[in-house]
A and B are shown apart, each in its own frame.
Chain A
Amino acid sequence: MTRKAAALISGGLDSLLAAKAIQQQGIHVEGINFFTGFCVEGHTHAIRKQDKDKPKRNNALWVAEQLGIKLHIIDIVDEYKDVVINPKHGYGANLNPCLDCKIFMVQKAHEWIQKKGFDFLITGEVIGQRPMSQRKQTMPIVAQESGAEDLLLRPLCAKNLPPTRPELEGWVDRELLHDFSGRSRKPQMALARHFGFEDYAQPAGGCCFLTDENYSVKLQDLWTNRGHKKYDLDDIMLLKVGRHIRPHKSYKLIISREEGETRFLSGYKKQFQSIKTISHAGPLALIEGATLNAEQIRLACAIVARFSKGKSSEQVELTYSAAGGEPETIHVSPLPAHEIPQHWYLL
Chain B
Amino acid sequence: MQTIKVDARRLLCPMPVIRLQDAMEPLPVGSQVIITCTDPGVKNDIPAWSRINGQSVLNIQEQDHEIIITVQKDSNE
Contact = CB atoms under 8 A, between A and B. Distances in A.
A47 to B, nearest CB: 8
Nearest to B65: A263
A58 B53 contact: no
B48 A65 contact: yes
A58 B14 contact: yes
A118 interface: no
Q: Interface extent on A, as a size class?
A: 20 to 34
Given A58-B44, A58-B48, A65-B52, A41 B13 contact: yes
Interface stretch (A69-77, A130-138, A220-228): A69-77
A283 B22 CA distance: 36
A61 B41 contact: no
- What range describes how many residues of B lie at the interface? 20 to 34
Looking at chain A's contact residues, is the secondary structure mostly helix, strand, loop, or mixed? mixed
B5 interface: no
A42 B14 CA distance: 8
A319 B72 CA distance: 44
B38 to A, nearest CB: 7
A201 to B, nearest CB: 14
Interface in B8-47: 9-10, 12-15, 17-18, 21, 38-41, 43-45
Nearest to A61: B48
A217 interface: no
Name which of B12, B41, B44, B65 has the most chain A CB atoms within 10 A of its CB: B12
Interface string A257-281: 0000001100110000000000000
Contact of B12 (A43, A62, A68, A73): A43
B42 to A, nearest CB: 9
Contacts of A60: 14
B11 to A, nearest CB: 9
A290 interface: no
Given A58-B13, A61-B49, A267-B10, A42 B18 contact: no
Contacts of B17: 58, 61, 73
Contacts of B12: 42-43, 46-47, 237
Contacts of B13: 41-43, 46, 56, 58
A243 interface: no
A42 B41 contact: yes
B14 A56 contact: no
A53 to B, nearest CB: 13
Given A39-B14, A42-B45, 10 more contacts: A35-B18, A41-B13, A41-B14, A42-B39, A43-B13, A58-B14, A61-B48, A72-B21, A264-B10, A268-B10
Interface of A: 33, 35, 39, 41-43, 45-47, 55-58, 60-62, 64-65, 68-75, 237, 263-264, 267-268
25 contacts: A33-B14, A35-B14, A35-B15, A42-B13, A43-B12, A43-B13, A46-B12, A46-B39, A55-B44, A56-B41, A57-B48, A58-B13, A58-B41, A58-B44, A58-B45, A61-B14, A61-B48, A71-B52, A72-B21, A73-B14, A73-B18, A75-B15, A237-B12, A263-B65, A267-B9
**Nearest 5 pairs of A and B residues by beta carbon:** A42-B13, A267-B10, A61-B48, A56-B41, A46-B39
